Structure 1
Amino acid sequence: MENKINRRNFIRTSSIASVGLAMGLSNVNCASNSQIKKAAILGGPKAYTGDWSKWPVIGQAEQDELLKVLNSGGWCRLGNKTAPKFESEYQKQTEAKNVLAVSSGTSALYTMLGALGIGPGDEVIIPPYTFIATYNAVVLNYALPVFADVDIESFQIDANKIESAISNNTKVIMPVHIGGSPYDVDKVHKVAEKYSVPVIEDACQAHMAEWKGKCVGNWGLGGAFSFQASKNLNSGEGGAVITNDDTFYQNCYSFHHQGQGADAASLVPGSGIRGANLRITEFQAAILLAQMTRLADQVEKRWKNAQYLTKMLKQISGIKPAELYDGVTKSAYHLYMFRYDKEKFSGMSREQFINALNAEGVPCSTGYTSMTREKYITDLAQNKHYLNVYGEKRMKEWLESLSCPQNDKLCDEEAVWFTQTMLLGTKTDMEQIVEAIRKIARYSAEISKI
């Protein structure tokens, strides 16, 4: 009964706010004192009164699957059944022709680049707004990562900036479905086809996300997924490669298995003279089998809650949820990302906004820092191996090419994140997130002076 009353009050407040916005009024004048309580950071009550979903979700299924492996004594995937069973189930969910389970999402990217024979002298195009693993997978192969700036509206790689980044040495385009939302697949792949460059999809955050009704990872030569602890499908660590190309699958299997084939004890051709041990364990696969029983329902809940939240947040001046491209039929929403405009909040800094929102019981963060300005990245220009391969002139040019102003703006000023677990709650949870932001907007002038 209390939830119904709270929602009724929220809807009434939101309706008044919408009228105010339609009349061109500011956030501050959206509702009366009786309808929006004082911001929590100023001593008012928290807007969020529930309990955020715990992660991971653990049940009897996880215990049963783990005990099966433990008691079997077959803990390595070789000659055992759990990892192949997981691959079969994940194949059904993604509708990919081939699935290869590996030790991490980074391993999935590294495996695919290794299977393609990427190495010194090659260039791989990636976005700057991504987890460091995207970059690391390229550098592990001593290839040169070339950055194409982001589309600030979507947080995704800007398809219009890829072509200018292509050179005679470009061997792969590796865009990222960041936050679990698909990049502009049609535009990116059109450029790739024009230059006959394969696309490797970094879908590590995008389990079950769809472009035009087909799961991401199926659009390029292959796709990488991560099962790291924060991911929507979780086994602590773990990853997978999906591909619809049989030859590429065999090459990936060979690379991740010390250069050996799936059905051979001897070395086989496919990945040149390189190979590694990037195999998943039976324990990881067991956890994944259990976690997968909830995945479809969790994906649907995140999707519906995110749509509801986006509809409400778009009514608040200065809050701009990340745009989805027209071809997106489902986002995984590993992250719920939006842009914050301080000018609509009395000049209140993003840090003050985040502190105020956390005080309301709504956890949030600024997300990534600007990768292309990090010392970890820029020091590559002085790496002795890269200087030997590419030369001082090329590495100086590369260093000068790192400017990504749209990415810098996102990282330095605008981006705010909610994690995927927050979208596993109720409609009331989504409403209380919005209530919290409205309170902060109303008292932004006071908060900015703290």
Structure 2
Amino acid sequence: MNVRQAPEFPQWPQYDESERDGLVRALEQGQWWRMGGSEVDSFEREFAEHHGAAHALAVTNGTHALELALQVMGVGPGSEVIVPAFTFISSSQAAQRLGAVAVPVDVDPDTYSIDAAAAAAAVTSRTRAIMPVHMAGFLADMDALAKLSANTGVPLLQDAAHAHGARWQGKRVGELGSVAAFSFQNGKLMTAGEGGAVLFPDTAMYETAFLRHSCGRPRTDRRYMHAIAGSNLRLNEFSASVLRAQLRRLDGQIATRHERWALLSGLLESIDGVVPQRGDERTDVPSHYMAMFRVPGIGEDDRNALVDRLVEAGLPAFAGFRAIYRTDAFWELGAPDTTPDELAERCPHSEAISQDCIWLHHRTLLASEEDMHLTAAIIADAVSTV
């Protein structure tokens, strides 16, 4: 009997005849942009319904989704947006590109999502939005954050780039009462290579966002009567046709990933020196965008070398996000009046996680149970040499 020594992970993105049929359908309808075709409109309805939202607006990418949402929420020069210090840089840059100041706060050491108490301490009279990032598909503490929003009057913008299909105590992302932004970049849980979407809880915000994403031009305008300032953030018909197919298989993939993470996380927990991410149990349906774990105390250089060894062994492994205040990009515009070291003191968990965290691409969790054991064995062997 042959015994496999290396895992066999499925490729990503995944597609079948559904995507191919959608692309042909979009091609043959004769109109390839959203104002003349039907694919974007159909995708928006389906995505909104799937996530329990009143409205969805499809846009060019996830970064633009955040930027557009913040603009509609009134973020601009002179305002502040609270963001987690441990996140992908788009969370802060979306606010900074609007002329606002991004204010990093610490994250929970177990979930890696924004610490609600740290966010509360950072609220000022200039705060216009609080942006929880649902790290790896485990939702941030939406109960505490909703209470904070109600007490301060500062709205939430969920960065749900990792959280397609996730649920918090039975509620879908669009049922949590706040705006949410998604990404469909090539590595995401649903993808058309690029793309994004914003969920809106009310019609007025949605209509404003529609104008701003379409050069400020009303749908029925024939005389170039641009109503408000905007940009061209419209998604094309081909991308929407692919996303419609991707959405249909999302729940099945989430179920598989959930089963595999239950196995893999237990195996990782048994490895000396390895601590897997622990999601808040109130996230009753996590989407598992990443399989994340920490090797506390390893240090950034050794962590990076460990990632290289895992990749050489066949795992789709990556270093955790760098704390945003540790990047040059963060300080180019819209940065708070402080220093990286001062922010590091305020954000000790983000500082540590950014140096000792490793994540595996979610296609890892679409493999077999045998592959979970092989993956854990590779990690255990690599960690033992640190």
Distance in 1, matches of 2:331 and 2:33, equals: 39
The aligned counterpart of 2:9 is: 52
Structure 2 residue 332 is the aligned partner of structure 1 residue 379? yes
The aligned counterpart of 2:150 is: 193
Structure 2 residue 293 is the aligned partner of structure 1 residue 333? no
Instruction: Please give the per-residue CA displacement for 1:360-404, whole angstroms capped at 9, x wherever unaligned.
Output: 3223121212220212212337xxxx8xxxxxxxx5347776332
Distance in 2, matches of 1:188 and 1:289, equals: 31
The aligned counterpart of 2:126 is: 169
Distance in 2, matches of 1:69 and 1:292, equals: 17
Taking structure 2 as the reference length, the TM-score comes to 0.92
Task: Give the aligned residue type for 2:210.
Answer: Y
Instruction: Please give the per-residue CA displacement for 1:81-140, whole angstroms capped at 9, x wherever unaligned.
Output: 111111121122112111111111111111111212321101111112111111121012
Please show how residues 334-373 of structure 1 align to structure 2 within 5 Å: 334-341=289-296, 349-373=302-326
Instruction: Please give the per-residue CA displacement for 1:159-202, whole angstroms capped at 9, x wherever unaligned.
Output: 11011111000011111112222111111221111101111111
Task: Give the aligned residue type for 2:321.
Answer: Y
Distance in 2, matches of 1:171 and 1:439, equals: 47
Aligned-residue offset at 1:317: 2.5
Distance in 2, matches of 1:227 and 1:254, equals: 22
Structure 2 residue 175 is the aligned partner of structure 1 residue 218? yes
Structure 2 residue 260 is the aligned partner of structure 1 residue 318? no
**Change beyond 3 A, Cα 1:296–1:260:** same
Structure 2 residue 75 is the aligned partner of structure 1 residue 133? no
Task: Give the aligned residue type for 2:350.
Answer: N
Pick aligned residue for 2:109 from 135, 149, 152: 152
Matched position secondary structure for 2:376: helix
Distance in 1, matches of 2:182 and 2:236, equals: 16
Please show how residues 214-363 of structure 1 align to structure 2 within 5 Å: 214-263=171-220, 273-341=228-296, 349-363=302-316
**Is 152-161 or 309-318 further displaced after alignment?**
309-318
Aligned-residue offset at 1:324: 1.0
Pick aligned residue for 1:409 from 352, 365, 375: 352
Distance in 2, matches of 1:401 and 1:125, equals: 16
Distance in 2, matches of 1:105 and 1:218, equals: 20
**Is 361-370 or 396-405 further displaced after alignment?**
396-405
Instruction: Return the index of the structure with the highest Cα Rg.
Output: 1
Matched position secondary structure for 1:330: coil
**Change beyond 3 A, Cα 1:400–1:410:** closer
Aligned-residue offset at 1:303: 1.3
Is the Cα contact below 8 Å between 1:201 and 1:220 reproduced in 2? Answer: no
The aligned counterpart of 2:21 is: 64
The aligned counterpart of 1:396 is: 337
- Alignment length, in residue pairs? 382
**Change beyond 3 A, Cα 1:168–1:54:** same
Is the Cα contact below 8 Å between 1:75 and 1:282 reproduced in 2? Answer: yes
Distance in 2, matches of 1:216 and 1:78, equals: 27
Normalized per residue, the structure richer in helix is 1
Taking every aligned residue pair, what percent have the same amino acid on both sides?
A: 32
Distance in 1, matches of 2:326 and 2:342, equals: 11
Instruction: Please give the per-residue CA displacement for 1:410-432, whole angstroms capped at 9, x wherever unaligned.
Output: 112x1011011111111111111
Is the Cα contact below 8 Å between 1:108 and 1:224 reproduced in 2? Answer: yes
Consecutive unaligned residues of structure 1, counting only runs of 5 or more, are 7-46, 387-394
Task: Give the aligned residue type for 2:253.
Answer: Q
Distance in 2, matches of 1:152 and 1:251, equals: 37
Is the Cα contact below 8 Å between 2:127 and 2:154 reproduced in 1? Answer: yes
